[in-house]
Amino acid sequence: MSYRLLQRQAARRDILSIVNRIADDNPAAAQAVYEAYEYTLELLKMTPDMGSTYPSDDPRLADVRFVSVHRYRNYLIFYRRTGDLVEVLHVWYGGRDIPSLFDQEKDR
């Protein structure tokens, strides 16, 4: 079974920001990261439960999962699966303060 994929605007902005930052120093590496991201999205469409549950006491995040970008473990894709839909929420560098980033989401 293949699941439908919905990429939120925030996730699209996140990955483009990451790729643009990398491209400043190394355009080929930026292209490789983007291709790995796209590949990971294809994997999510086939096996959306492959990621780990995001550990949080916040009930809004109870069903959020995350998976690293293929071959780039420092970049994490945060998503949620509802029925046959995989909704990509964000793509963040894993070294960032992820709980704070989600807290900022609450304030919007």
Average pLDDT, integer, range 59-75: 96
Q: How confident is the model at residue 103 (pLDDT cuts 50, 70, 90)?
A: confident
The yes-or-no verdict on residue 70 having pLDDT over 90 is: yes
In the chain, which ranges are E strands? 4-7, 52-53, 64-69, 72-82, 85-93
Q: Tell me the pTM.
A: 0.94
Please report, for the chain, the start and end positions of each structural domain, with discontinuous segments joined by +: 4-106
- 94, 76 Cβ separation under 8 angstroms: yes
Best CATH choice for the domain 4-106 from the list 3.30.2310.20, 3.10.450.40, 3.40.50.620, 3.90.1010.10 = 3.30.2310.20
- pLDDT tens for 22-61 read 999 999 999 999 999 999 999 999 999 999 999 999 998 9
